[in-house]
Amino acid sequence: MRRKGNPAFGRRFLGNVNKKEVHDLDNEKTGAHECQINEIIKAKHARTFSPDSLEQANREGYDYCAYCLSYTLMKKALITVKLGPEAARMSNTEIVKDIREGSEIPLCSEIEKVEVMKNA
């Protein structure tokens, strides 16, 4: 929740100078061990960024809060593979099915998208 008064003045991103961590006030988590924005402000550890952006906080060396900015911590990998000659005799649907069922990719929790295309 954005705060209108000092030090946030309605801005979205708030830094904790003590931990060098940035918080998203539009996605604040208020559990006992989560963001603790009010405590950060009371301890005078709060600061804002100009411009009011994650990119600016990152440029200034701030890490993302694991609670309110967990959506930014997710990473994806785009993998392009060259299919073997046997794929030429298969339909795209069969190829996608085989890839989804038979692939073991390190660090991968889920294959979100498989797209088969002609070699350019």
Do the Cβ atoms of 46 and 38 come closer than 8 Å? no
**Do residues 87 and 120 both lie within one domain?**
yes
8 domain-assigned: no
Closest CA to 74 of 107, 97, 41, 48: 107
**Do residues 21 and 67 both lie within one domain?**
yes
6 domain-assigned: no
Residues spanned by the domain of 113: 75-120
Which helix (H) or strand (E) segment is 38 a member of?
helix 37-42
22 domain-assigned: yes
Q: Domains in the chain: how many in total?
A: 2
Tokens of 37: 């924005």
Judged by phi (left if over 0) then psi (alpha if -120 to 50, else beta), residue 93 lies in: alpha
**Do residues 108 and 94 both lie within one domain?**
yes
Q: What's at 69, amino acid-wise?
A: L
Confidence bin at 29 (pLDDT 50/70/90):
very high
Tens digit of each residue's pLDDT (9 = 90 or more) over 90-101: 999 999 999 999
Closest CA to 64 of 36, 19, 23, 120: 23
pTM: 0.61
Whether 40 has a pLDDT exceeding 80, the answer reads: yes
**Do residues 79 and 116 both lie within one domain?**
yes
CA separation for the pair 27, 29 (Å, rounded):
7
3 domain-assigned: no
Average of pLDDT values for 45-74?
91
**Do residues 39 and 54 both lie within one domain?**
yes
**Do residues 27 and 45 both lie within one domain?**
yes
Instruction: Write down the mean pLDDT value for the chain.
Output: 92
3-class DSSP state of 37: helix
